Amino acid sequence: IAPVLEHDRCGLWMTATLTHEGSWLSRLSSSVAYEVLSFEGPHVTVTRPGSGGPQLHGHVLVHRSQMLEGDVTTFKGIPITTPARTLADIAPIVSDRALRRAVREAVRLRHITLPELGDALGRYRGRRCIRKLAATVARYAGLPIERARSGTEVRAMEILRAAGGTMPRLNVVVAGEEADLSWPAHRLIVEIDGDPFHLDKGEDARKEKAWREAAWTVKRIPADDVDHRPHRLLALSPPNVA
């Protein structure tokens, strides 16, 4: 199954939904389809109307639900549970860190907004997922994660807010060039290196030259430091302004 997943994953997902009428790609499989998580598990997971526990049919793991109305859609032509339902379904079975990543990626990729996800929580009241998912939504409330180019930028905003630091603008134009994190009052820019948008060193140097000529201070930090050594990001940012 692994080689098939690697070369024709979408075809395998579609095939799984065609094994029985009313089958919808769901749970870990739908989270991978939406590109909010990268791990799927050994089976393709679908959900069908009905009741009863999960059953394995070949390479397809079938879950059943009596509450699918309003929670299904199509994505890239594949019948699939909605982003909100997908996040609710994976909440009890993934780690807190994985769920946080899934939520911020779902918003960043514009599959759903935080207000929409918050509204959806009301439909899932009483389910095991509700408290964990609600806590994750609250974690990102007020952050402009829809402007983020990467999960690392969202993580940077989390770190700065948790530390009580002065919050930057995210991905706005400074001196004609878009900057990752910028503090106008301090004329400070912090660029996060290592993400997909920072592979062209010549482009980075050109932008940095424009900012310095406009009297901005430019500092850089590797993406890995943001994720694993957050104190280094805090050391680069301005102190809190009371």
Q: Is 21 left (phi over 0), alpha (psi -120 to 50) or beta?
A: beta
What percent of the chain is predicted at pLDDT more than 70?
93
> What beta strand segments (E) does the chain contain?
24-25, 44-49, 55-57, 60-65, 72-75, 78-81, 169-174, 177-183, 188-193, 217-222
Q: What is the mean pLDDT of residues 163-174?
A: 92
128 against 118, higher pLDDT: 118
> What is the b/e burial string over 125-160, where b = at least 16 CB atoms within 10 angstroms of the residue's CB?
eeeebbeebbebbebbeebbbeebbbbbbbbbbbbb
pLDDT in tens, 89-121: 999 999 999 999 999 999 999 999 998 998 888
157 pLDDT tier (thresholds 50, 70, 90)? very high
229 against 149, higher pLDDT: 229
Question: Does residue 218 register a pLDDT over 80?
Answer: yes
Computed over every residue of the chain, the mean pLDDT equals: 89
Question: Does residue 28 register a pLDDT over 60?
Answer: yes
Please give the pLDDT value at position 194: 81
Most confident of 116-120, 167-171, 198-202: 167-171
* Phi, psi of 89, deg, nearest 5: -70, -35
Please give the pLDDT value at position 182: 97
pLDDT in tens, 35-47: 999 987 889 999 9
* CA 100 – CA 87 distance, rounded (Å): 10
179 pLDDT tier (thresholds 50, 70, 90)? very high
The runs of H, that is alpha helices, within 91-236 are 96-108, 114-121, 130-140, 151-162, 201-213, 223-228, 230-236
* CA 28 – CA 46 distance, rounded (Å): 9
Please give the pLDDT value at position 145: 86
What percent of the chain is predicted at pLDDT more than 90?
69
pLDDT in tens, 46-102: 999 999 999 999 899 999 999 899 999 999 999 999 999 999 999 999 999 999 999
Q: What is the mean pLDDT of residues 198-215?
A: 87
Q: What is the mean pLDDT of residues 182-186?
A: 96
